[in-house]
Amino acid sequence: MRASHFLTALLCYLSAVGYGFISPQPLTTHEDSELALLMRTMYNDAETIRKAILEKRLPEDFREKFKAIYTAQPTDPEVKDENFTPFTNGFLQALDLLYQNGDDQIENFNTVVHSCIACHQQYCPGPINKIKKLYIHN
């Protein structure tokens, strides 16, 4: 892990703490990046999708909004290295599968969650435990 990635991991850890993901501490005071703010709404949007699937409804389509991952400024600019775009592509492809295929929605949703986590393992491990809660267990 490069030093800059360590910094991002640390910031992610702090934001996870701030969110009560890890323990009920008050919010940390670092300024939130565009990417961090987008991610926070993405978490809520993923919960909305999850709820729709559990209720056997068609999930709302957030793909256009999520494409902002490509351009949103991260806390640490070094996050946007040569691997970041492939991770984003993989995430959006998992969403394509979810919206194109009415069958296997639970499995396809879990693949989306898996691709959130794949990117987080690389860049931002702090929120992983929280993201894992999105998985739908049969």
Smallest distance, ligand HEC to C-beta of residue 61, A: 14
Q: Which two tokens stand for residue 119?
A: 């990117």
CB-wise, 45 or 55, nearer to ligand HEC?
Answer: 45
Q: How far is the CB of 137 from ligand HEC (least distance, A)?
A: 17
* Helix (DSSP H) and strand (DSSP E) numbers for the chain: 6, 0
**Can you give the binding site for ligand HEC, defined by CB under 6 A?**
11-12, 15, 19, 33, 35-36, 39-40, 42-43, 46, 69, 74-75, 79, 84, 87-88, 91, 115-116, 119-120, 123-124, 127, 131
Instruction: Rank residues 101 and 129 by Cβ distance to ligand HEC and give the closer one.
Output: 129
| Minimum distance, C-beta of residue 28 to ligand HEC, in the bound complex (Å) | 9
How far is it, in rounded angstroms, from Cα 81 to Cα 137?
Answer: 33
Minimum CB distance to ligand HEC smaller for 55 or for 116: 116
User: 21: which DSSP letter?
Assistant: S
> Token match 């049969």: residue?
138
Cα separation of 79 and 86, whole Å? 13
Name the residue nearer to ligand HEC (CB basis): 55 or 88: 88
Closest separation in Å from C-beta 44 to ligand HEC: 9
67-81: string of b/e by CB count within 10 Å (b at 16+)? eebeeeebbbeebbe
How many angstroms separate the CA atoms of 98 and 9, rounded?
A: 29
